[in-house]
Amino acid sequence: MGETGQQAAGGKIVTQTNYPPPRADRKDRVAPGRASDRLRPMYYQDMPSPIGRLRLIASDTAITGIWFEQGRDATRGDPTLVERSSPLLGLARTQLEEYFAGARREFDLPLEPRGTDFQRRVWKQLLTIGYGETTSYGALARNLGDAQASRAVGLANGSNPIPIVIPCHRVIGANGALTGFGGGLPIKRALLDLESSAAQPRLI
């Protein structure tokens, strides 16, 4: 069996590829968007999962999106996307399969979400939320240096184009209630339950 699961979570790239590996700091894995991104070809591959079909989207060098079968992405389309397999999409699929199996707690992928400077700051902050942990919009705003920006943080969180890998599902209301999520609240609950269950110590 190849290097998967917790072995791969330490930062190794388990598939030989010609794209640059992600940097060691999880926050630094979100690359800045560029105006020329819209001119580059984008590829996609669909995969089954316990929460429904996922559409993985990538450029030649980084993952740029994950779409849900349900929720905000249900009727979404992009005629510029080309269905094609690639080593990067294959690696993303493998790591997501490991995640859903409870064998992976951290993704090791180059990421390039498109958004404003503020949105990318929020998305980088999301990468600091540990597996099985949650935080609030207010706490994220404080970490970004503006305690009054919780509403703007919530909007940026809801615009995250690479859910699961950039874990916007780990952000909940200050009172502990689930709040909006692009894939719908049942999927958000399923992801939190998955991580909570996998993080529990097992009795031998």
- DSSP helix/strand/coil, 45: strand
22: Cβ–Cβ under 8 A, 6 or more apart, which residues?
11, 28, 29, 108, 109, 110, 111
Selected catalytic residue, list 54, 91, 149, 168: 168
The answer to whether 112 touches 64, Cβ cutoff 8 Å, is: yes
Q: Is 21 a catalytic residue?
A: no
In angstroms, the CA 20 to CA 63 distance is: 12
CA-to-CA dists, residue 108 to 132, 176, 201, angstroms: 17, 29, 24
> Which among 55, 93, 62 has a CA at the least distance from the CA of 77?
55
The answer to whether 198 touches 130, Cβ cutoff 8 Å, is: no
In angstroms, the CA 90 to CA 104 distance is: 16
CA-to-CA dists, residue 98 to 71, 92, 104, angstroms: 24, 10, 5
Q: CB-based burial of residue 94 (10 Å sphere; 0-12 exposed, 13-18 middle, 19+ buried)? A: middle
Active site residues: 168
